[in-house]
Amino acid sequence: MRGSVKEKNILSPKTVFIVDDEPLLGEIAEVILNSEGYLTRRFLSPFDLLDAIEPGAFIPQIVVTDFLMNGMNGLELIRRLRQTCPSIRIVLVSGTISECLASSSADTRPDYFLAKPYQVTALIHAVEAALAPDPHSETAAT
């Protein structure tokens, strides 16, 4: 099991890692987010993303991941990311599960759920909402 990634390695909030085993869907998300000024990096596998987030490596503040992928689903990816990078923000995208199911457990709960199919503006809103400070957190009050 990897150790926790140090917070100093987090890139700007304008950096988004996208995980989708459907190349076209990942590319569409990348184009949408790039057009809004986000820097992106795409991964075709959750395992590739986990390999990229090694101790000492730079990580984004946010990951946009599909739910249904080969080898590991989005909820398991969220669980593993939360173990390694507890402060990372996550948008879960799915056309097969409901928000209720995606939010059922604290260790797999995404910061934002986006149902497929989605509009361009919905993806942008999801990323912005996931990055917004939690109004109930101590850091948001300062």
CATH number for the domain that contains residue 39: 3.40.50.2300
Q: Are 138 and 44 in contact (CB under 8 A)?
A: no
Q: Is residue 2 part of a domain?
A: no
Q: Is residue 17 part of a domain?
A: yes
Instruction: State the pLDDT at residue 142.
Output: 37
Q: Is residue 141 part of a domain?
A: no
Burial class of 15 by CB neighbour count within 10 A (0 to 12, 13 to 18, 19+): middle
Q: Tally the domains of the chain.
A: 1
- Interval 107-139: pLDDT, tens: 888 999 999 999 999 999 999 999 988 644 444
Q: Are 38 and 127 in contact (CB under 8 A)?
A: yes
Instruction: State the pLDDT at residue 10.
Output: 56
Q: Is residue 1 part of a domain?
A: no
Q: Is the pTM of this model over 0.95?
A: no
Q: Is residue 3 part of a domain?
A: no
Q: How far is CA 123 from CA 8, 9, 44, 73, 107, in A?
A: 27, 25, 19, 20, 23
The sheet carrying 89-94 orders its strands as: 39-43, 15-19, 62-66, 89-94, 112-115
Q: Is residue 136 part of a domain?
A: no
Confidence of residue 12 (pLDDT cuts 50, 70, 90): low
Q: Is residue 138 part of a domain?
A: no
- Interval 28-76: pLDDT, tens: 999 999 999 999 999 999 999 999 987 667 788 899 999 999 999 999 9
Other beta carbons within 10 Å of 113: 21
Provide the residue range defining the domain that includes 27.
9-131
Q: Is residue 20 part of a domain?
A: yes
Instruction: State the pLDDT at residue 40.
Output: 95
